[in-house]
Chains A and B, each alone.
Chain A
């Protein structure tokens, strides 16, 4: 992940995480943008899945199903954010980063 890609992705992940905590529907758009910004790897998979679930979920809802979906989306966003942070700190050499690069034994 190049530095500029990492900065863009980290910003979008952080914005998405706050929007999810606040149960703000703007998280749907932010997650879609984050998914497009992520290079191949765990972060891209997690954000694509998070964006898809968020589109189908009433993020401001308080039903048991809505809460479960929102929590799952938060977990996926956290996974992506941590991978992006690791890439930024380690210049891309992290397990789970762009597949085929930087895995460790």
Chain B
């Protein structure tokens, strides 16, 4: 019998292909599980809501995906849906509502545009239980080292929040701007999404000099993940742009190639992210 969702899609939408896809996804997941230690995996990169580009994911759909792929929890933030005022308020409220409906599965983060009322929205989201910040310099067209970005990062850091920063698709080099941001906000925890593939070598070098620089594995390139220390890596899927089977396959392949121990693999899959959101024992 086919699963109701496969590779993150509604199986009913995939017609006769769904059955074979389910079998193939099962095989990918089985190979990944054979390589990875068991645990309460924490996906550190999920978008909930509807992106202006049409990508969409609800809390209920996410929980179904998490169940199928045996992932315990997910850090969730809004997709690129800033709203008419550009402040992400409605999109952030959707994330809060999903977290309220699934408090054991969804960890809410705030998303802001640093140039559009960011500090007020960060404060509002903190009051509603958000536990981190997402910034997207490409979608919101700002420089990571800009005055507004520094102010938003400082506000989040004062709350003890980690800050996820898009570091994938984009034309600009990132290492110097991220270094300036890190130096402007001492103590900031900056999680560079997609293993920093937008400027991989430069950002990997930066991480050796700044202890506040982390990376997530969402839609990353294997060669970049293999080259990063597992103590600075967080498992992520980038749902709904990515999905969990290939995200787990990526971590499993990286573990195999880099020779991570079980403890190091558990850190990537769960413990590093849990520590950054304040859940570490």
Contact = CB atoms under 8 A, between A and B. Distances in A.
Interface stretch (B77-85, B183-191, B203-211, B244-252): B244-252
B252 A95 contact: yes
A7 interface: no
Contact of A72 (B7, B31, B223): B7
A68 B20 contact: no
Interface stretch (B8-16, B88-96, B120-128): B8-16
A86 B256 contact: yes
Given A75-B8, A79-B249, A95-B252, A68 B14 contact: yes
A105 B21 CA distance: 25
Q: Do most interface residues of chain A lie in helix, strand or loop, or is the interface mixed?
A: helix
A7 to B, nearest CB: 14
A85 B20 CA distance: 24
A95 B21 contact: no
A53 to B, nearest CB: 5
B52 interface: no
A104 B262 CA distance: 14
B268 interface: no
Interface string B13-28: 1110100110010011
B245 A72 contact: no
Which of B34, B240, B253 has most A Cβ within 10 Å? B253
B137 interface: no
